[in-house]
């Protein structure tokens, strides 16, 4: 039997655990991390392709056999594939460990859930990247996604989709 004179019992859900409270990263730091990630990817993946093409061009200008040109392209492609695997492995390990890409690690920021809890690897990969990439087929989506950073919460559209925020690590 319940006591009619007992105080009401209610669960309060709007109180944030102070241990999870974090400082949201500023827009400039996020931009710097994105630019750094872009350059690292270019160096590790695209530069070997460019080097292979340059070597193939040098081989063809020297009037060498078509086999030499194909070998130069193949070596560039293999080096690019190796670079992609190394970059992907480094990124996945950092994202799984603490919600950071290589650029985010270098700039001292990380991705967490909007309640401050750690974001899962599947949320980071699928919702923040794959779904965002699929939606980017829509014209001007990339611009709209980036402009959301100027909102009060400093969340891009892909952050809102994945229910994540970027905070100082």
What is the model's pLDDT at position 13? 63
Give domain status of residue 111, yes or no: yes
Q: Would 102 be classed as within a structural domain?
A: yes
pLDDT, position 7: 85
Residue recorded with tokens 């603490």: 98
- Give the per-residue pLDDT at 74: 86
Rg, C-alpha atoms of the chain: 23
Give 112's strand partners: 118, 165
Q: Give the integer Cα–Cα distance in Å for 112 and 54.
A: 42
Q: What is the pLDDT of residues 7-23, one digit of tens each?
A: 888 776 655 555 555 79
Q: What is the mean pLDDT of each run of 10 residues along the chain (169 residues)?
A: 82 58 88 96 92 74 67 86 95 94 96 92 93 94 93 92 94
What residues are paired with 165 via a beta bridge? Answer: 112
53 in any annotated domain: yes
Q: Could you give the CA distance from residue 38 to residue 66 in angstroms, rounded to a whole number?
A: 34
**Residue 115: which of 12, 10, 11, 19 has the closest Cα?**
19
Residue-range definition of the domain harbouring residue 61: 27-168
Q: Indicate whether 51 belongs to any domain.
A: yes
Q: Residue 52 domain-assigned? A: yes
Q: Classify residue 47 as exposed, middle or buried by CB count within 10 Å of its CB (0-12, 13-18, 19+).
A: middle
The answer to whether position 40 is within a domain reads yes
Residue 70: per-residue pLDDT? 81
**Phi, psi angles (nearest 5°) of residue 144:** -65, -45
Looking at the domain assignment, is residue 123 inside a domain? yes
Residue 10 in domain: no
Q: How many domains does the chain have?
A: 1
């Amino acid at each position: 039997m319940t006591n009619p004179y007992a105080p009401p019992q209610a669960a309060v859900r709007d109180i944030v655990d102070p241990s999870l409270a974090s400082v949201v990263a500023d827009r400039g730091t996020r931009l710097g991390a994105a630019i750094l990630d872009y350059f690292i990817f270019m160096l590790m993946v695209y530069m070997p392709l460019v080097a292979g093409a340059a070597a193939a061009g040098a081989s063809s200008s020297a009037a060498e056999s078509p086999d030499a040109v194909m070998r130069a392209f193949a070596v560039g492609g293999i080096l690019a594939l190796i670079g992609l695997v190394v970059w992907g492995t480094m990124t996945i390990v950092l994202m799984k460990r603490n919600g950071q890409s290589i650029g985010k690690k270098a700039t001292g920021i990380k991705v967490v859930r909007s309640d401050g809890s750690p974001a899962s690897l599947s949320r980071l990969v699928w919702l923040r990247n794959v779904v965002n990439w699929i939606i980017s087929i829509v014209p001007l989506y990339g611009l709209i996604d980036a402009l959301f950073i100027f909102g009060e919460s400093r969340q891009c559209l892909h952050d809102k989709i994945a229910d994540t925020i970027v905070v100082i690590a």
